[in-house]
Amino acid sequence: MALHLIKLCVGVDTIRELDEWIAERMAQKKKKKEAIEHIHTTRMMPSQKDELLDGGSLYWVIKGMVSCRQKLIDLRQFTDKEGVKRKSTRVRCDRVVLLGSGGRGAPMDRGGSGGGDSAATHAASEPSEPLTDDDIPF
């Protein structure tokens, strides 16, 4: 049975701002020739890793509302530059998906997320117009 994480999205006022922040981080990684994957660092390793990776998502609370989610791809223990293993966890996530679309979601994909999606899936799921916070039905 899948479990989910829920996190406050501190410093972000809109879903668009979260998406732009992620896109900026991916561009920085590409420029540095690092792996193009979205990583969010948490303070502790969840005790039920297998259940989280069995279809779980990271749900983002923006301005007091659960507004979007990202499918969990991997959980990795963080090791610092000195080689010391820390309790914090690197959470690898897929693209941002808006909530409230009858379970389908509306992907805000920037590509390179490593979620195993094909180009055909991306083309079929991309919105014809840019998404805004007004697209949230609640």
The answer to the question of residue 89 being in a domain is: yes
Q: What is the mean predicted confidence (pLDDT) over 4-33?
A: 91
Task: Judge if pTM exceeds 0.85.
Answer: no
Element holding 120 (H helix, E strand): helix 119-125
Residue 127, pLDDT above cutoff 80 = no
Report the C-alpha gap between 93 and 21 in whole angstroms.
14
How many domains are contained in the chain? 1
pLDDT exceeds 60 at position 119? no
- At residue 8, does pLDDT exceed 80? yes
Lowest mean pLDDT among 8-17, 43-52, 55-64, 96-105: 96-105
Q: Looking at the domain assignment, is residue 137 inside a domain?
A: no
For all residues of the chain together, what is the average pLDDT? 75
Q: What is the domain range of residue 80?
A: 5-125
Looking at the domain assignment, is residue 21 inside a domain?
A: yes
Residue 132 counted as domain residue: no
